[in-house]
Amino acid sequence: MNNTVQNTEKNLVEVRDLQEYFPIRTGLFKKTMLKAVDGVNFSIKPGETLGLVGESGCGKTTVGRTLLRLYKPTGGQIFFDGNEVTDKNMQNYRKEMQMVFQDPYSSLDPRMTVEDIIGEPLDVHKLYKSKGERRDKILELMGLVGLNAEHATRYVHEFSGGQRQRIGIARALAVNPRFIVCDEPVSALDVSIQAQVINMFEELQEKLGVAYLFIAHDLLVVHHISDRIAVMYLGRIVETADADELNESPIHPYTLSLLSAVPIPDPNTARAQKRIILEGDVPSPLNMPSGCAFRTRCRYATEQCAKECPPLTDRGNGHLVACWCK
Amino acid sequence: MAENTAKKPPLLQVVDLHTSFTTDKGEVQAVNGVSFTLEEGKTLGIVGESGSGKSVTAYSIMQILEQNGHITQGQILFQGNDITHYSSKQMQDFRGKKCSIIFQDPMTSLNPVYTVGNQIMEAVLVHHEKSKAEARDIAINMLKLVGINDAERRFKQHPHELSGGMRQRVMIAMALASEPWILIADEPTTALDVTIQAQILELMQELQQKLNMAIIIVTHDLGVIAQMADEIVVMYGGRICERGTADEIFYHPAHEYTKGLLRSIPSVDNMKEKLVPIAGTPINLLNMPKGCAFCARCDNAMKICLEEVPPELPLPDGHYASCWMNVVNHNYVEEPADE
C-alpha cells in the first residue's frame, strides 16, 4: 500500500476506496447491506476547499462522517498528512480534523453557555495552562467568528440561526484544526444570513489556512466557495473537477442534468435555460442497478453500462469522470 | 391601476390585508397591510425569508390559519366578491373548487392511512356531484396528468410507498382534481432535490398552460421565483417592500432589501467575488420598529426611516416600492436612479 505515498505527501487528506455499508433488516432473519458509500476516492490539499454535491441519499453526509470516524468505515483507507488514520491513532487526529454540522439548533447543547460550548474542546485536549488563558482563547475565538464578548455567558436559545452556526464554527476552530468537514452548514439559514456565513468561511480560510470538505446540495453556493467540486450519485463519485471547469464543461450526464436543473436567479437566463429533466427517481440504494448506478435515468445508457461500473478516468487537467461515454 | 377596476374585476385582489396571531407574548402582526392583484393564468411569486409573512398571506387567502390567527383588516376579493365575509359553508366551496393549495412538505400533508387514490377522489366527491366511478376515473386521469407512470397501480398505494417527488405530484393532482382557478403553492419544492424540483416546476408550468389557472408561488428561493413568476411581491417583516414584474424586480430593484438580497446570493456573475451580505439578523415580529421594518439592517437608512413607515410609491412600469430612498430620488431626481 506504500506505492502511492509520494502522492499523499502533497495532500492533507486523502481518501482511498472508502466504503461504508449499513446492515438493514429486510426480513425476520434477512439482512441486506445498504451501500451508502461504495468506493470513494478523493484528496484535499492544505488550505483547499473541496465541494461535495449530490442529491439526498447519495451518501455525501456519510462520506463526511466516515472521514472523521463518526462511523467506522467498512473498507478503504483515510490518510491525513501522509499517515494512515486508524482507530488507534484517531484520537491524535481529532485535533486536526473537526466538523461543523447542518443544524445549528440540535448540534449545540441547550444547557451549556457559549463559553462552555467553545471551551469544551479546549478542556478535552488540555490546551490551556490557566483559567485566564482558557477565557482569553474563548474570547479570541468568539471575536474570530464575529460574536461579542458579552455573548459568552448566554445560552444557545438566545441566539438566531446564523449566530448559532457561528458558535458551532468557533467550537470547531478551538483546537486549531487544519481540516474541517462542513456538512450543509448554510442550508438551515435564511438567504440574507447565508452570505454572512459563507463569507466567514472564506475569511477564516484566508486567515488560518484551513482546508474544507464542503458538503451541500445548493450548487451555486458550492461553486462559489469551492476550488474543486466532486459530484456524488448513489454512493459513488461520478465526476471531479476544478469548480469553474465543472460548471462550464461538465461531462457526466448526471452532472449535466444536475447543473441544468439549478434555478438561476435571473429571469432572462431562467427563461432561456434548457433543462435536462431526468425521468423517474433515484433508485433505492438497497436495490442498486447493476453496472453504472445512473444508467436507469441516463438517456445515453448502453449495454455496457448495465454490465460494468465505469471507473473514474482522467479527461485532462485533473477532470475525472466515471462514465463510459467518449 | 384604475383601468383594471373599470373592466372585469381581477381574479384575485388582496387589499390592505392585516393578519395577526394572539400569543402568550402579545399580539403578533404577521401580515401588515399587504395588497396585490392576481390576473387569470398568471403566476405571482411571493418572496421573503422566514417570518416575513409570506406563508401567512397564502393561508389568509385560504382562511386556514391556526386557531389563534385572524384577519383583522382588509379585503380579499375573488372576482370582485370579498371572501373574508364568507360563511364557513361558502369558504368550503371556495377552497378546492376556486382555489387549492399545495404545501411544502409532501411527507406530512398526505394522510398515511388512506390510499392516494382515495384522497384524490375525496377532493372530487366533496366539490362535484359525481359518482364514485366517475371520481375514480378523474383521479386516475389526474395522476396521469401529473406524470405518474402506472397510475392504476399507484392509485391503490399508500403515501409511504411513494418517493418525495411522487408525493408532491400526488399533492398537485389532489389540488387540481377539482379544477380550481387559483393554485397556491407554498414552498412546493423546498423539500425536494434539484432534479426533482425541476420536474415539479416544469409540471406546474405545463398544467398552468393546459388549464389556464393562476398560480401564487410562495418561496424564499430567488432562483425558483425567476423561473416561475410573471409578477413578484417581496415581503419583509409582514409588509410588502416592493412589487412589480419579474424583470422590474430583478433588473431594477427599488427597495434596499431586495437590492441587498440580490447582492447576497451567489450567481454566475459574482463567482470570483466576495458576496455582499445583508448585515444584522432577521426581524423579530414581537419587537417591530416604529419606522421601516428593514431600517435596522439598511446601509442607507435615514432619519425618516426610523420614524415613519414608508408609503407605497408608484414607479414606472407598474412597479411599486415602499422605500424612503425613492421618495428622496423622486423629489430631487427627474427619473429614478436606475438605468
Residues 27-56 of A with CB under 8 A from B: 55-56
**Cα torsion angle, B192, B195, B199, B202, sign:** positive
Give B273's pLDDT tier (boundaries 50, 70, 90).
confident
Cβ of A202 within 8 Å of Cβ of B274? The answer is yes
**A11 in contact with chain B, both atoms CB, cutoff 8 A:** no
Q: Which domain holds residue A278?
A: 2-96+177-321
Location of C-alpha cell 458579552? A150
Cβ of A220 within 8 Å of Cβ of B225? The answer is no
- Residues of chain A with pLDDT > 70, as a percent, come to 97
**Taking a C-beta distance cutoff of 8 angstroms, is the pair B47, B255 a contact?**
no
Residue B62: partners with Cβ closer than 8 Å, 6 or more residues away: B95, B99, B101, B184
When CB atoms are compared, the residue of A56, A223, A263 closest to B221 is A263
Q: What residues of chain A lie within 8 A of the CB of B279, using their CB?
A: 196
DSSP state of A112: S
Nearest to B44 by CA among B318, B260, B268: B318
Distance CA A228, CA A237 (A): 13
- Closest-CA residue of A relative to B283 is A160
Residue B248 distance to chain A (closest CA, Å)? 10
Does position A9 have pLDDT exceeding 90, yes or no? no
Q: What mean pLDDT is predicted for residues B259-270?
A: 87
pLDDT at position B337: 44
* A:B CB pairs within 8 Å: 131
The reply to whether ipTM tops 0.90 is no
CA A325 to chain centre: 27
- Closest-CA residue of A relative to B224 is A263
Give B330's pLDDT tier (boundaries 50, 70, 90).
low
Cβ of A199 within 8 Å of Cβ of B163? The answer is no
pLDDT at position B287: 83
Strand, helix or coil for residue A283: coil
Q: What mean pLDDT is predicted for residues A138-151?
A: 92
Strand, helix or coil for residue A49: strand
Lowest mean pLDDT among B114-128, B147-161, B195-209, B316-330: B316-330
Residue B216 distance to chain A (closest CA, Å)? 17
Give the residue numbers in B contacting A (CB under 8 Å), as ranges: 49-50, 163, 165-166, 193-199, 201-202, 220-227, 246-247, 250-251, 260-262, 264-268, 270-271, 274-279, 281-282, 297
pLDDT at position B63: 93
Residue A191 distance to chain B (closest CA, Å)? 7
Q: What residues of chain A lie within 8 A of the CB of B48, using their CB?
A: none
Higher-confidence position of B273 and A19:
A19
Chosen from A151, A158, A165, A191 to mutate, greatest number of chain B CBs within 10 A: A191
Residue B94: partners with Cβ closer than 8 Å, 6 or more residues away: B78, B83, B86
Q: What residues of chain A lie within 8 A of the CB of B220, using their CB?
A: 190-191
The number of residues in chain B equals 339
Chosen from B166, B170, B275, B299 to mutate, greatest number of chain A CBs within 10 A: B275
Ranges of each domain in chain B = 2-37+50-98+227-332
Cβ of A196 within 8 Å of Cβ of B277? The answer is yes
pLDDT at position A5: 45
Cβ of B246 within 8 Å of Cβ of A220? The answer is no
**Taking a C-beta distance cutoff of 8 angstroms, is the pair A59, A235 a contact?**
yes
Residue A81: inside a domain: yes
Residue A129: inside a domain: no
Strand, helix or coil for residue A323: coil
Residue A56: inside a domain: yes
pLDDT in tens, B159-199: 998 888 889 889 999 998 888 999 999 998 887 888 888 88
Location of C-alpha cell 476544478? A242
Provide the β-strand partners of residue A79.
Answer: A14, A84
Distance CA B78, CA B61 (A): 10
pLDDT in tens, A242-281: 999 999 999 999 999 999 999 889 999 888 888 888 877 7
Please, where are the H alpha helices in A150-252? 161-173, 191-208, 219-225, 243-248
**A186 in contact with chain B, both atoms CB, cutoff 8 A:** no
Residue A265: inside a domain: yes
**A285 in contact with chain B, both atoms CB, cutoff 8 A:** no
CATH of the domain at A82: 3.40.50.300
Give A4's pLDDT tier (boundaries 50, 70, 90).
very low
Strand, helix or coil for residue A12: coil
- Residues of chain B with pLDDT > 90, as a percent, come to 57
In our burial notation (b when 16+ CB lie closer than 10 A, e otherwise), range B147-170 reads bbeebeebbeebbeebbbbbbbbb
SS (H, E, C) chain B: CHHHHHCCCCCEEEEEEEEEEEECCEEEEEEEEEEEEECCCCEEEEECCCCCCHHHHHHHHHCCCCCCEEEEEEEEEECCEEHHHCCHHHHHHHHHHCEEEECCCCCCCCCCCCCHHHHHHHHHHHHCCCCHHHHHHHHHHHHHHCCCCCHHHHHCCCHHHCCHHHHHHHHHHHHHCCCCCEEEEECCCCCCCHHHHHHHHHHHHHHHHHHCCEEEEEECCHHHHHHHCCEEEEEECCEEEEEEEHHHHHHCCCCHHHHHHHHHCCCHHHCCCCCCCCCCCCCCHHHCCCCCCCHHHCCCCCHHHHHCCCCCEEECCCEEECCHHHHHHHHHCCCCCCC
pLDDT in tens, A295-326: 999 989 999 999 999 999 999 888 999 999 86
**A140 in contact with chain B, both atoms CB, cutoff 8 A:** no
pLDDT at position A236: 94
Residue A223 distance to chain B (closest CA, Å)? 7
Q: What residues of chain B lie within 8 A of the CB of A198, using their CB?
A: 266, 275
- Closest-CA residue of A relative to B257 is A192
For B336, the grid coordinates are: 429614478
Residue A86: inside a domain: yes
Distance CA B121, CA A307 (A): 44
Cβ of B223 within 8 Å of Cβ of A262? The answer is yes
Cβ of B225 within 8 Å of Cβ of A265? The answer is yes
CA B16 to chain centre: 16
pLDDT at position A114: 95
Distances (CA, A) of B268 to A219, B189, B258, B274: 11, 22, 18, 13
Does position B64 have pLDDT exceeding 50, yes or no? yes
For A316, the grid coordinates are: 485532462
- Closest-CA residue of A relative to B248 is A267
Q: What mean pLDDT is predicted for residues B119-126?
A: 91
When CB atoms are compared, the residue of B49, B246, B268 closest to A264 is B268
Does position B4 have pLDDT exceeding 80, yes or no? no
Residue A150: inside a domain: no
Chosen from B149, B162, B227 to mutate, greatest number of chain A CBs within 10 A: B227
**Taking a C-beta distance cutoff of 8 angstroms, is the pair B43, B108 a contact?**
no
pLDDT in tens, A45-56: 999 999 999 988
Residue A115 distance to chain B (closest CA, Å)? 21
Distance CA A193, CA A104 (A): 13
- Which is the CATH superfamily of the domain at B2-37+50-98+227-332? P-loop containing nucleotide triphosphate hydrolases (3.40.50.300)
